[in-house]
Structure 1
Amino acid sequence: MLRGFYGAASGMITQQRQTEMLNNNLANAETPGYKGEQGSIRAFPEMLIQAQGTNAQPGNIPYTVGSMNTGVYMQEQTPNFAQGDMRETGNNTDLAIQQGDLPINEETDRPGALFFTVANEDGDVRYTRNGNLTVDGEGFLTTAQGYYVLDEDGDPMNVENEFFDVDEAGNITDEDGAAVGQLNVVLAEQPEDLVKEGDGLFALDDEEAEPLPTAIGAEDVDYTINQQMLEQSNIDPQQAMTDLMQSQRTFESNQTVLQAYDQSMELAVSEVGRLQ
């Protein structure tokens, strides 16, 4: 009976984490460049139950009753790096990466993903798909949170004001037509290994690892930079809501099972074990 408690409780914990993940996806359904998360739910190894001390088989060999599941758990949460839809904004500082053909990773059999490079408040390189940019008081191109957008040399880009132009390769010219620099777009061959941080940023799982390689000039990487456009999140709100309702129903089912075990345990303690 105690194993039943553990099985039902593990199901409730797993669905609670699934619900939190889905709620976070829904909350960011309108966040530009947001990549929704997917949960991988796995079952613990099954146990083989045998009856000891029985004559059911010759030679008193333990009789096999059958297997028993020991519960489930959420193994990991991984972002889905599928391309989001494009939305025209008319805002000159809005930029979006439109991915084309990308190399397929042999280990995962999936294509990589492209990112803008920015510097966080500590000056560390981070990666983002959120192209909702702005120009600060000193003329630097930054994210909405104030993180500097970096060029191909890893330096912050000073565009002076919002009247700049960006071509499909990411080359920026100011309002006088003078070259400012080129946006550094990088390729993550295994984006699943990136660590998701707040404000739409991704980091390498190892801070001492080499930065992601630039995609500028790579022959097998195809992309375009679209100005006055934003990449929407790749969340399907209707599907996310359906998954959320299913997760809540599964949680409630496990809760009902747990309550049934609790009532049975109460009877076992108060009635069955009572001395006459």
Structure 2
Amino acid sequence: MIKGLYTAAAGMLTQQKRHDTITNNVTNLNTPGYKQAVPISRSFPEIYMSMINQGSSNEIGSFQTGVMIEETVNIFTPGQFIETRLPSDLMINSNLQPVDEDGNPFTDEDGNLIEIQFDASGKGLTPDGIEVYQPQVFFTLWDANEETRYIQNAKLFINDQKQLVTQEGFQFLGQDGQPIILFDDDLSVEQIQIQKNGQLLYNGEEVTDIVGQPIVLQLSQVNNPHHMTREGNGVYVITNEDQASVTVLDELQDQPIQVLQGFAEGSNVDAAQSMVDLTSALRVYEANQQVIKMLDETLSKTVNDIGRVQ
């Protein structure tokens, strides 16, 4: 009975965290580029119980002490594309297929490309049953400590050092892996045109760096975006252990990747489904609450009433 209290309490804590995650999604319903988070829950490991009798034990079954939130997964399905016509608005549109360990796309026995279907979380299965994820493409940034960050939707600004930065001050990197510096003092964001491959133009001519090379935004392909950690404001970080899943894209020829200027991506949060999930979390929370109340009343009767000497 006391074990049941722990199980119900674990259920309440799980639903509370689920409720908090969904509430945060709803709060960012109108935040451009926001990707909704989905909590993944699982049960605690089974505990095997046995009855000890005169030095021997007889197994009587297993017992689970409840559930917990194992992780929170970011859903990278695109939101609605909103044309703002503002040169400072920038986003990435991509629709990539996964690759194997050697960087090659999955093919059948005849060498034909296999188009893998993905679920809402971006997970799919190859014909051999291998679990794969839909790759995502990001702009590559540096923070104040020159640590790499990633973003898919951003507003462009030029700081006092003539660097191309986001609204939060993160520096955009070029193809050389260094922050982009605009050496033309008269150049403004409104005058910059960004091609679909990320190249910067001014009045139809290439914008070049100090050695005369064309400036192109560095794009990074993350083969498993679920390894990324959200930092806020659409910025993500990936640990050093998972850096192997990141590929810097040199060219975008024949790839379904576009850099769109003058567009902003809306949040991908489904308002109707979120309200259903909120109601579900509340109902399950209340059910576990009633279980605890019932067990508490039963324990009270056991302690205070049963065996009382009249």
Are 1:98 and 2:125 matched, yes or no? no
Cα distance, 1:69 vs structure 2: 3.6
TM (normalized to structure 2)? 0.77
Are 1:161 and 2:188 matched, yes or no? yes
The CA distance in 2 between the partners of 1:118 and 1:207, in whole Å, is: 19
The CA distance in 1 between the partners of 2:300 and 2:15, in whole Å, is: 26
Change over 3 Å in CA distance of 1:78–1:208 after alignment to 2 = closer
Letter in 1 for 2:29: A
How many residue pairs get aligned? The number is: 269
Q: Does the aligned pair in 2 maintain the 1:102–1:221 contact within 8 Å?
A: no
Change over 3 Å in CA distance of 1:208–1:80 after alignment to 2 = closer
Equivalent positions of 1:184-199 (< 5 A) are 184-199=218-233
Secondary structure of the structure 1 residue equivalent to 2:132? coil
Change over 3 Å in CA distance of 1:99–1:48 after alignment to 2 = same
Deviation per CA, 1:180-201, whole angstroms, max 9, x where unpaired? 4111111011111122222322
Deviation per CA, 1:17-50, whole angstroms, max 9, x where unpaired? 1111111212222222222112211112345566
Cα distance, 1:212 vs structure 2: 2.8
| Unaligned stretches of 5+ residues in structure 2 | 101-125, 209-214
Q: Does the aligned pair in 1 maintain the 2:48–2:59 contact within 8 Å?
A: no
Q: Does the aligned pair in 1 maintain the 2:38–2:74 contact within 8 Å?
A: yes
**Aligned counterpart, 1:239:** 273
Cα distance, 1:12 vs structure 2: 0.6
The CA distance in 1 between the partners of 2:238 and 2:23, in whole Å, is: 25
Equivalent positions of 1:71-90 (< 5 A) are 71-90=66-85
Aligned identity (percent) is: 29
Letter in 2 for 1:35: K
Secondary structure of the structure 2 residue equivalent to 1:250? helix
**Aligned counterpart, 2:300:** 266
Are 1:27 and 2:50 matched, yes or no? no
Secondary structure of the structure 2 residue equivalent to 1:225? strand
Cα distance, 1:222 vs structure 2: 2.3
CA RMSD of aligned residues (A): 2.7
Change over 3 Å in CA distance of 1:11–1:67 after alignment to 2 = same
The CA distance in 1 between the partners of 2:218 and 2:301, in whole Å, is: 67
Cα distance, 1:62 vs structure 2: 5.2
The CA distance in 1 between the partners of 2:266 and 2:218, in whole Å, is: 21
